[in-house]
Every structure is written in C-alpha cells, then in structure tokens.
Structure 1
Amino acid sequence: MDGEHSAPTPAPAAEVVDICRDLIRMDTSNFGSDDGPGERKAAEHVAALLEEVGIPTQIIETAPGRTNVVARWGGDGTRDDALLVHGHLDVVPAEAEDWSVHPFSGEVQDCQQGGLSVWGRGAVDMKDFDAMLLSVVRDRQRTGRPPARPIVLCFTADEEAGGHLGAELLVRDHAEVFEGCTEAVGEVGGFSTTVRGQRLYLIEAAEKGMAWMRLTARGRAGHGSMINADNAVTRIAEAVARIGAYEWPVRLTPTMRTLLGTVGTLAGVDATPDNARELVEEFGGATRMLGAVLSNTTNPTMLGAGYKVNVVPTEATAHVDGRFLPGFEDEFFRTLAELCGDDVSVDYVSNQAPWETPYDGALVDAMTRSLLAEDPDALVAPFLMSGGTDAKHFRKLGMSSFGFTPLRLPEDLDFTALFHGVDERVPVDALEFGARVLDRFLDQV
C-alpha cells in the first residue's frame, strides 16, 4: 500500500515547548484589580489553536479583557458522563529586574537545577499544563484519535485572584457549558518528588479552604500625647500577634494519612500525628507546601491605621490569609474568633470551602496507569494542596476533582519554590513527559 495514504504518526509532545513559550510571551499578569492586561490575547490564541484543528470554541468574557475559552471535544456516543479538563490563563505579576531572564520572554535555557528549561512567568503555574493539553489535543485531533469519553476543555481567567471573574462566573452564569461533567482534572498534581531515592508522583485529591480576612478594630480618636486606653492600633496589634503566634495542632485528613503512610513505608515507620512533621521533612523542598497541610494556618499579611504620627486613629485594620483543612472548618473559625477577641470584627475578602475527593475509582486508576507506563519504577500517592485552584468552583456543579499536571522532575530541582517565584521554569523533558502521560490518560478515562 502506498505510504502517502498511511495515517500520520501520533506525536503528542511535538508542539508542547513552542506552545508553552508562546503562552508565556503573552503577559496575562493578574494584579487582583482592574489593572493589568487581562487574558484576552492568550484566550484568542488558545481558541485559534483549537479551531485550526477543527474543534469549535466559545469565548466568554466576564469583564473587559477577562476572557475564558470553552470547547467540547470527543465522545463516541457510548457515554454521557463528560470529563472537565481545566487550566487557567492568568499569572501572578513578575518584576523583571529580579529575574535572570525577562519573565515574559519564554526563553529556553540550560540551568544547573532542571537542565534545559523553558523560563518565564507561568512556566509552572500553569501555562505548562495549558501547553501540554493543547499539544495533545491538537495531535489527537489531527491523527483521528478523539477520546471515547466526552471532554470539556476550559481555559479560565482570574484564577490567581480567586477565580471570581473566571470559574466562579462560568459556574454561576454559564453552567450549561459543563453539562454532563461528572469529574474534573486541573492543576497542581502529578508532579514528581523524590523520597529516600524513590520517585513519587503526587496527585492532588484535596484542597484547603481559603479565608482571606479583613480584621477591624475601632477605638477612641485622640491626641497622641495623651493617655488613651481605647486605642484601635493596640487592639489590632494584639489580635494580629495572637493569630500569628498561634500553633495550630496537627490534623490528618484521609488524603494525608494515605500519603504519609506511603512515606512511612519507605522510612520503615508507622505514620502518626506525632511523627507527621518528621515524615513531611522527607520531601525536602516540597516540605514548605506539604508541611502547611498538616494543620490549619493563619498568616497576617497586611496592616493599616492612622494618617499622622500624633493622632490616635478611630480605626485600625489587618489582613490575614487563613487556610483550613477539610473536616476541620468548625475548629478553624471557632479558634479564630477566640484569637480575635470581642473587640475585633472579621469580614471576608474571600471565603471558599475546602474539598477532598476519595482517592479511588476509575479516574485514579487512569492517572496512575498513565504515569507508571512512562515511569514504571515510580510510586503514586495523593496529597492535599495548601493553596487554592479553580476546582473549588467547579465542584459546586457536583464534580469530583483531582489535580493532575504530570511532570517528571530532577531530584535536585526545588520545584515548589518556583510557584509564584523568581526564575520560574519548567524542564523541557518534563513538558514532553507530561504530554505523553496526558495522551495515555485520554485513552483510559
């Protein structure tokens, strides 16, 4: 048979580096306000990449420049339950003078930690996943391999500021685009870490709740030279000191019991709340993230009061970033009220619930098999994410969720430090690995 009519050879990783670089070059910095470029340019680029291979898209703009892309793809008619695969297009801001390369250059450079890598803001959070997904989808569409299960592809705005102009509004005002979706996969999971020489892939199966709080204390205004026992600044300072110094007790959720049980087996000990922090230390640089999910946390981040040094103000404020574990919400808010005291009020800038998905079932099996097919000697386990993702919003529609952005990383790369960090970068071979894993995953979902 003439070779010119043979089917094209699948190459899911062929475009991943170029797509990642192109997306990084599009500045989609999210300042948490109306300032900034928005996601429009990147959203139009994503839509064009999908339309080029025959996948119709819908662009949904929730505010000027704040743009989301949704597409429905695949499905052979044998299943009604769709899978949502989502990634966000915005990034946190970056100061160019702090970086070794320009943060929006998308340069490919070698480096001591990570080897040949794509550099730039969003390289790991999360234009790497957007690029992997687009590279795989385009290749499968070109080679006639759409998945048997219906897939909804969603690229969102505003995730870095809580998703209020992205996933939250999509769920509230455009829920019809997610019709049939029963499960979802998105960011922060599937990356590797190394424990005692053993490569271990972490799949996000839970997420802490978010309580961004504005504390307010009121008192009696007066001259700074006089005695004032009703001082708002003193009250807010005392509350902030109590909150910042409080040591939250260790609380293990089912997800973390599973993860620490895996690490305990490698270390030759049983995992308990008493040795949980010691076991988390086995993760090296990833300890900064995993250590934060052994308990609730509260970090004061901003203070405000007064306008002149010799005037006692009527009001003083503070902002606190609180994160609470699934199943321990009541303990968190009860303790917070005690720490604030009766003279400090609390308003919520953002208050989002935690979530936890049982780590079992066909989707977990598909993620595990697709990882082990590319890295047979590895282990796979769930983890609880300290930060927040768009999964919080999509779960309002009844979807179970996982974080699955597969990356095989060098042991010496301090990967978690790159999230929102200076010199953010992703190894080229990790991007290509992730595309191959996602390709396998879509065959099994």
Structure 2
Amino acid sequence: MVTASWSGTAGDKAMDAVGDEAVALTSALLRIDTTNTGDSGTVGERAAAEFVAEKLTDAGYDLDYVESGARNRHNVIVRLAGADPERGALLIHGHLDAVPADPAEWSVHPLSGAVENGYVWGRGAVDMKDMVAMALALACHYKRNGVVPPRDLVFAFLADEEAGGTYGAQWLVDHRPDLFEGVTEAISEVGGFSIPVGGKRAYLIGTAEKGKRWLTLRARGSAGHGAMIHPDNAVTLLSEAISRIGGHRFPTVMTETVREFLDGIAAITGWQFPEDDLERAVGRLGSISRIISATLRDTANPTVFNAGYKANVIPSVAEARVDCRILPGRQEAFTAELEALLGPDIEMEWHEQDPLVTTFDGALVDAMKAALQAEDQDAHVLPYMLFGGTDAKRFDQLGIRSFGFSPLRLPADLDFSGLFHGIDERVPVDALKFGVRVLDRFLRSC
C-alpha cells in the first residue's frame, strides 16, 4: 500500500498519465448533454452521473448514487479513507450540469468535446467539467494504486448547481447530511487559476462569494383592448421599473477580501488602488477587471421579461426577472435601495442565498500555496471574491469551510472570465495537466 507521502511531480510518468486521463475525461463529459435550463425541460445529470459512477466503480470504490428529489437529477459521492481518521475530512465537489448554449454561435459544437489547437472545447469546459475530470482522474488513480491521503477525502459529483442546487447540493444537505459526516473543509470552483499582472503571474483562491437574489418582479394593471387608453398598463409600469434598475449603480464598497486582493496586487506590481479612483485603477488589471469590478458593488441585472399574448390585448400582469448579486454585509441596505427604485406598485418575490466569506489563512491555505508554488516557482497566491455563487453556500449550512481551488495555469492572453457561460468555452490541455499535478500535491499533503 502506498503511504500518504506523495509521489506525483511534474516529471512523474504516473502523473503524466493521470493528466492525459483528465483531458480524455473532460472531453467525454463535454459530449454528455447535461444542459440545465432551470425548468422542467432540463435534461438532467443522470447520463453524466452514470459515467462517473462507472469509472469510480471500476477503480474499486463503493459509492453512493443518489437521485435528489426529481427524475434524472443524480449525484455520485465516494469517500477515500485517510491515514488519520480523527482529522476532519476534505470535500472535493463539482457539478455535472452546464448552462445552455446555442450551437449556431460557436466555432465548434458545444457538445463536441473537441480537442483542437491545444484546447478542449465545449459547454462546461471551465464551468466546471474540467475540475470534475481532474478530481475523477485523481480519485480513480488513488484507489487503483492504494494511495492513502493524510485525511479522508470525499469526492462529490453533483446535480443542479447552475439553477441554485435545489436538486443537488441543497437536497443532499437537507436529506443526506450523513454523506458529509466529519467533513470540515471543501474545495471546488472558481479559483486557483492564474492571471497576468504587471508581467507577473498571480493565482487567485476563492475565499468569498457575493450573495445571490434571483428576483421576480410583477406589475398588475387593467386588461383590455390595445386600442384603448390604459393609464395603468402593467407592461409600462414594469418596464419603467426595470429601466430604473438597469440604469442604477449601487455604491462602491471595499470589503476585506477585495482589500486583501488589491493589497496583494500592489505588493506584486507597485500599482496603487486609491479608493477615490478605484474603478479606473482596477481597469488596468485586464480581463480579470470585470470580475474584480463586479465585487466592488452590488449588481442587479434584468434578464427576463414576460408579458402579454397578443399584439392588441393589454395584459393584466407583467413579470420580469432580475439577477441580483449582493456584497457581504449589504443585504439590508440593498433591499432598501431596491425598494426605493421600484416603488410601491411593483411586487417582489425572490430566491436568495447569503454571501459567503472565509479568511485566507490556515493549514489548508498553506497547502494550496505550496502545491501551486511547487509547480510554478513564479506563482503569487492571493485571495479574491467570486462575483457569482457556487454550491459552497449550500455546504456552509453544514459548517464546512469552503475555498475556490480548481487550479489552472492559463495563457496570459486568454480571456478566462469571458469563457464562463460564454461562446466557445474551452480549457487549455496544458492547464488541465498542470491542475492535476497541483491537485495531486495538494491532496497528498493537505
């Protein structure tokens, strides 16, 4: 039996083989349609879950295969025993679903899983079938070769993250918390990726996430003929309210996480980030500036508008949806500001998840830094806040401390942030292989 002392290095043939397997698994997973529309038309994750379950079973795991509250919404969880059962376990989780994609907009078909020009292409390549493949390849490698990590490792492959986790992480937290017994810490998306800053390379570890509020707005008025005068037209009332939201900018707020990130960038580059000119200063960060700018303030972006059924009929009800992302500590202020924008005639309903924050310290963070710097001696490792949200918010309900750590060394000219839910989503082959080596070092020493 192999002990917890790790054997994977950049030049290790075994890790090279695991890296190749991760590339092949990413391609295979991308060919499985797990489109999550957020409604009853969703395909479901069953085919991908069965694929993952077969790989894990072949490697020798006894697994939990769980349908989570709806047809074809499946999850796979396995536990690899560690050397010290008294230590808290580490959860490595990833979601199997992906957002929709229009093939007409892509250079390759989004379900092709094509391996071309040094990339693996397809919807979900970075969000997050790449991390799923890396975790799956390592989990199978460890089991096949009798590797014993320092602590228990729980690998979870989950449904429904892209629609809030109702039929995935949240269902498991509510109905099967036993699967995560003893877990104290977790890693998942979106972190550990590199960015170029001032000729240097920084790797960002996710230590915070903005809160989420998926808001439904509703206006009511008098139905009637489209040729008549209608001072209480529901479509007009709602469109005016949506226009006010769309044109509003919430105040800039410097959270501790963002301050720590900017201080780290300043130490690397010598750049300054004065709070009275923060937007312009953040803009020099390049493509990552879109992510950082989104963590300087709350956002509320209208995304869906539904009203009416015929050109000459005034409907009595109009509805719209708004994607709201809220900074830690801003929930009450955000609500008050939104109510003032909407006015008394607009009804509000929402699905909400609170912001998530942890500190950038401790043995797990030290292990992340060491693993990255062992594979990239020029790595500068910094914390940052994710503009969106992940299943980490669900596992926080079990007292699990979470980090975004899905390591990738990326080309300096790649607009990584633009690939999430974007056209021609793809992940570099070399980045996947790098990620496998970093994760291997990390998991054998964490």
**TM-score, reference length from structure 2:** 0.93
Q: Which amino acid letter does the alignment assign opposite residue 95 of structure 1?
A: D
1:18 counterpart residue number: 24
The Cα of 1:268 is off from its aligned counterpart by: 2.7
1:319 counterpart residue number: 321
1:53-90 alpha-carbon deviations (Å, 9 max, x no partner): 22211100122111100111121235331111100011
Q: 1:245 to 1:146 in 2, by over 3 A?
A: same
Q: 1:29 to 1:307 in 2, by over 3 A?
A: closer
Asked if the contact 1:30/1:36 (under 8 Å) is kept, the reply is: yes
1:4 counterpart residue number: none
1:232-266 alpha-carbon deviations (Å, 9 max, x no partner): 22221221111111111111111111111122234
Looking at structure 2, the residues matched to 95 and 131 of structure 1 have their Cα atoms a distance apart, in angstroms, of: 24
Q: 1:100 to 1:230 in 2, by over 3 A?
A: closer
Q: Which amino acid letter does the alignment assign opposite residue 23 of structure 2?
A: V
What does residue range 424-435 of structure 1 map to in structure 2 within 5 Å? 424-435=425-436
Looking at structure 1, the residues matched to 136 and 281 of structure 2 have their Cα atoms a distance apart, in angstroms, of: 37
Asked if the contact 2:215/2:321 (under 8 Å) is kept, the reply is: yes
Structure 2 residue matching 1:413: 3-state secondary structure:
coil
Structure 2 residue matching 1:434: 3-state secondary structure:
helix
Q: Which amino acid letter does the alignment assign opposite residue 116 of structure 2?
A: Q
Q: Which amino acid letter does the alignment assign opposite residue 59 of structure 1?
A: Y
2:408 counterpart residue number: 407
The Cα of 1:270 is off from its aligned counterpart by: 4.2
Quick one: which of 337, 340, 355 aligns to 2:339? 337
What does residue range 249-328 of structure 1 map to in structure 2 within 5 Å? 249-328=251-330
Looking at structure 2, the residues matched to 96 and 221 of structure 1 have their Cα atoms a distance apart, in angstroms, of: 39
Looking at structure 2, the residues matched to 77 and 228 of structure 1 have their Cα atoms a distance apart, in angstroms, of: 72
Asked if the contact 2:97/2:161 (under 8 Å) is kept, the reply is: yes
Structure 1 residue matching 2:241: 3-state secondary structure:
helix
Deviates more, 1:7-16 or 1:267-276: 7-16
Looking at structure 2, the residues matched to 25 and 307 of structure 1 have their Cα atoms a distance apart, in angstroms, of: 37
2:49 counterpart residue number: 43
Q: Which amino acid letter does the alignment assign opposite residue 293 of structure 2?
A: G
What does residue range 3-402 of structure 1 map to in structure 2 within 5 Å? 10-11=14-15, 12-62=18-68, 63-110=70-117, 116-348=118-350, 350-402=351-403
The Cα of 1:279 is off from its aligned counterpart by: 3.2
Q: 1:419 to 1:288 in 2, by over 3 A?
A: same
Report the aligned-residue RMSD.
Answer: 1.7
Q: Which amino acid letter does the alignment assign opposite residue 163 of structure 1?
A: G
The Cα of 1:384 is off from its aligned counterpart by: 0.7
The Cα of 1:428 is off from its aligned counterpart by: 0.7
The Cα of 1:269 is off from its aligned counterpart by: 4.3
Structure 2 residue matching 1:293: 3-state secondary structure:
coil
Asked if the contact 1:264/1:279 (under 8 Å) is kept, the reply is: no
Structure 2 residue matching 1:125: 3-state secondary structure:
helix
Asked if the contact 1:263/1:279 (under 8 Å) is kept, the reply is: no
Looking at structure 2, the residues matched to 442 and 226 of structure 1 have their Cα atoms a distance apart, in angstroms, of: 69
1:316-375 alpha-carbon deviations (Å, 9 max, x no partner): 222111110111111111111111111111011x21111111111111111111111101
Looking at structure 2, the residues matched to 279 and 263 of structure 1 have their Cα atoms a distance apart, in angstroms, of: 11
Q: 1:316 to 1:429 in 2, by over 3 A?
A: same
Structure 1 residue matching 2:240: 3-state secondary structure:
helix
Q: How many residues align?
A: 433
Looking at structure 1, the residues matched to 28 and 307 of structure 2 have their Cα atoms a distance apart, in angstroms, of: 44
Q: Which amino acid letter does the alignment assign opposite residue 159 of structure 1?
A: E
Deviates more, 1:227-236 or 1:93-102: 227-236
Looking at structure 2, the residues matched to 265 and 312 of structure 1 have their Cα atoms a distance apart, in angstroms, of: 59
Asked if the contact 2:45/2:96 (under 8 Å) is kept, the reply is: yes
Q: Which amino acid letter does the alignment assign opposite residue 243 of structure 1?
A: I
Looking at structure 2, the residues matched to 192 and 108 of structure 1 have their Cα atoms a distance apart, in angstroms, of: 22
The Cα of 1:276 is off from its aligned counterpart by: 2.6
Gapped runs of 5+ residues in structure 2?
1-6
2:4 counterpart residue number: none
2:3 counterpart residue number: none
Looking at structure 2, the residues matched to 396 and 147 of structure 1 have their Cα atoms a distance apart, in angstroms, of: 26
**TM-score, reference length from structure 1:** 0.93
Looking at structure 1, the residues matched to 310 and 144 of structure 2 have their Cα atoms a distance apart, in angstroms, of: 66
Q: Which amino acid letter does the alignment assign opposite residue 176 of structure 1?
A: D
Looking at structure 2, the residues matched to 79 and 22 of structure 1 have their Cα atoms a distance apart, in angstroms, of: 37
